Amino acid sequence: DTEVTQTPKHLVMGMTNKKSLKCEQHMGHRAMYWYKQKAKKPPELMFVYSYEKLSINESVPSRFSPECPNSSLLNLHLHALQPEDSALYLCASSLGPNTGELFFGEGSRLTVL
């Protein structure tokens, strides 16, 4: 199994809603990442989890809250988002925090109304 699975694929939410994006991998990878990608731009790193601990937070607003319940799962909780947060949210994993290829999911396309 060399897949990173993200759900949902599409999400539309209002600015007062609370929703979550989910990411799962079963490759035994110990580093997992959330990226945000706007149209025609490269991905921007948001968070890195290393051995289930948050190791990097790239000054992301608190309306985005990551969670790593176990080594296979990564969530991104969303609350009180703004329309400018609409983007493709990509999850990725790698064998370790400084090694290995990045394996990406298909992404969750978020629209905030």
Binding positions for another protein, rule: CB under 8 A: 31, 33, 40-43, 45, 48, 50, 55-56, 88, 90, 92, 94, 97-107, 109
Pick the closer one to another protein by CB: 12 or 15: 12
Pick the closer one to another protein by CB: 3 or 18: 3
Residues 6 or more apart in contact with residue 62 via CB below 8 angstroms:
none
Pick the closer one to another protein by CB: 4 or 78: 4
We find the least distance from the C-beta atom of residue 95 to another protein, in angstroms, to be 10
We find the least distance from the C-beta atom of residue 106 to another protein, in angstroms, to be 4
We find the least distance from the C-beta atom of residue 91 to another protein, in angstroms, to be 10
Q: How far apart are CA 11 and CA 22, in angstroms?
A: 12
Residues 6 or more apart in contact with residue 74 via CB below 8 angstroms:
22, 23, 24, 32, 34, 49, 66, 67, 68, 91
If we measure between CA atoms, which residue out of 45, 40, 25 comes closest to residue 103? 25
Pick the closer one to another protein by CB: 13 or 95: 95
We find the least distance from the C-beta atom of residue 16 to another protein, in angstroms, to be 26
Question: Tokens 């897949």 label which residue?
Answer: 3
**Which DSSP symbol is given to 107?**
-
